[in-house]
DNA sequence: CATAATATTCTAGAACC
DNA sequence: GGTTCTAGAATATTATG
């Protein structure tokens, strides 16, 4: 497990964007949405003034949004319509999905392979109507979340294993020096030994 | 965090079922499907003979399937049609979704007839019309996965907190007994310090 | 230095109210 | 008509060989 993230393959804008959104320091101006599937700009003007110039060479909200669009982000209408906050979304840009950053590509190369049969010529048809919701994306979403969750679990297992080993080692070392340690700090609430992580015993 | 799983609110059958499917010992007879979204019985007869009586008071596959139907499971047609394996599915019964077991209620409150009914040695039903994919389920899937992921994160934070506390305790104890411990066991593989868990520093 | 990739700004098209 | 979101296009900046 060297580098799942492959940050060097990710566009600088996306790295910065992830930092901006994730940084707790600016959570009052920009932050992840409740479920971490989108992010929102709470205060446009302050965000543009205080955050943007720290990461980019401008303090222009339009330029920032232009970049978002270039990378395929979409603005989502927050339920409370009269809200001044802006909310943006990209299927591969999620709080727990830093791994998927490398799948976000620049430019509008997203909507190419929809149908395959019209092998004749690709005349730009007016395409009068756009369908409401593209349900096909749900499949992708499910698969992506599933994959993330599994990798997350795997990582956690590895992590837990390491901690376990180290703790066991340290404790055994402490056993050899009696009198040093009295009693382990009783879990005041007895939180169930360890959180119940999936079905497998992780601790 | 007392008990996220609330196992006492989950029907015994579902608990047993989860154990049966998850147990690696019987993976050759019954196991999760590839993505953990359904489970399949590989060998019907051996499963009935060797597994069922260990969990239930019978060795009858029909009774087992009857229970599945009562709890709203649906049989899914596995792609390789001529397969003797049976595959069952419930939106709230997944490998990583033990938490959702409590949402599985008894009785066919949904609507459909038990299409799985007595599907034991049944001849392959004509199944003239195979309805297309029900996209509405994807929303449920996404919501469920999302929920799982969030609870997973929460649990992980708790876990980390505990480890931190214990480590702090041990370290403070070590300060009182210098020379007791030499060196922590070097991570032979150095698996990247700790898996990259979201963006926030969890350790 | 040449070239490509990315960033920034401005403007226009399309959809919606 | 106005508003909002997205895309086109032109220029500037940076990265890379």
| Per-residue model confidence as pLDDT tens for chain B (203 residues) | 444 455 667 888 888 898 889 887 888 899 988 767 788 898 888 899 888 988 888 888 989 999 888 888 887 765 555 567 888 888 778 877 777 787 788 875 444 444 444 444 444 434 334 444 555 556 666 666 766 766 666 666 666 667 767 777 777 777 776 665 555 554 444 333 333 333 333 33
Rg (CA), chain B: 23
CB B176 within 8 A of CB B185: no
Burial per residue of A55-93, b for 16 or more beta-carbon CB atoms within 10 angstroms, e otherwise: bbeebebeebeebbeebbbeeeeeeeeeeeebbbbbbbb
Distance from chain centroid for Cα B181? 41
β-strand partners of A32: A39
Using a CB-CB distance cutoff of 8 angstroms, which residues of chain B are in contact with residue A96? 149, 153, 198
Chain A residue closest to B186 (CA)? A166
Residues in chain B: 203
Query: Residue B149 and residue B147: Cα distance in Å, rounded?
Result: 5
In the 3-class helix/strand/coil scheme, how is A105-137 assigned residue by residue? CCCCCCCCCCCCCCCCCCCCCCCCCCCCCCCHH
Which three-class secondary structure state does DSSP give residue B84? coil
Q: Which window residues (156-175, chain A) lie with Cβ within 7 Å of strand C?
A: none
CB A93 within 8 A of CB A37: no
Using a CB-CB distance cutoff of 8 angstroms, which residues of chain A are in contact with residue B32? none
Work out if A82's Cβ lies within 7 angstroms of strand C.
Answer: no
Query: Residue B20 and residue B14: Cα distance in Å, rounded?
Result: 10
pTM of the predicted model as reported, rounded to 2 decimal places: 0.48
């Amino acid at each position: 497990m060297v580098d799942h993230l492959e940050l060097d393959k990710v566009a600088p804008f996306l790295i910065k964007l992830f930092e901006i959104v994730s940084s707790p320091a600016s959570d009052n101006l920009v932050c992840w949405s409740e479920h971490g599937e989108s992010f929102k700009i709470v205060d446009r003007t302050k965000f543009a003034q205080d955050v943007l110039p720290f990461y980019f060479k401008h303090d222009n909200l339009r330029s920032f949004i232009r970049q978002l669009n270039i990378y395929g982000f979409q603005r989502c209408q927050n339920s409370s319509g009269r809200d001044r906050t802006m909310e943006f979304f990209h299927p591969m840009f999620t709080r727990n999905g830093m791994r998927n950053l490398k799948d976000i590509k620049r430019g509008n190369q997203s909507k190419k392979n929809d149908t395959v049969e019209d092998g004749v010529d690709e005349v730009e048809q007016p395409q009068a109507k756009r369908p409401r919701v593209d349900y096909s994306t749900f499949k992708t979403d499910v698969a992506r979340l599933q994959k993330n969750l599994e990798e997350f679990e795997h990582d956690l297992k590895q992590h837990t294993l390491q901690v376990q080993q180290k703790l066991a080692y340290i404790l055994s070392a402490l056993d050899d020096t009696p009198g040093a340690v009295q009693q382990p700090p009783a879990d005041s609430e007895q939180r169930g030994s360890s959180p119940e992580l999936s079905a497998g015993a992780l601790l």
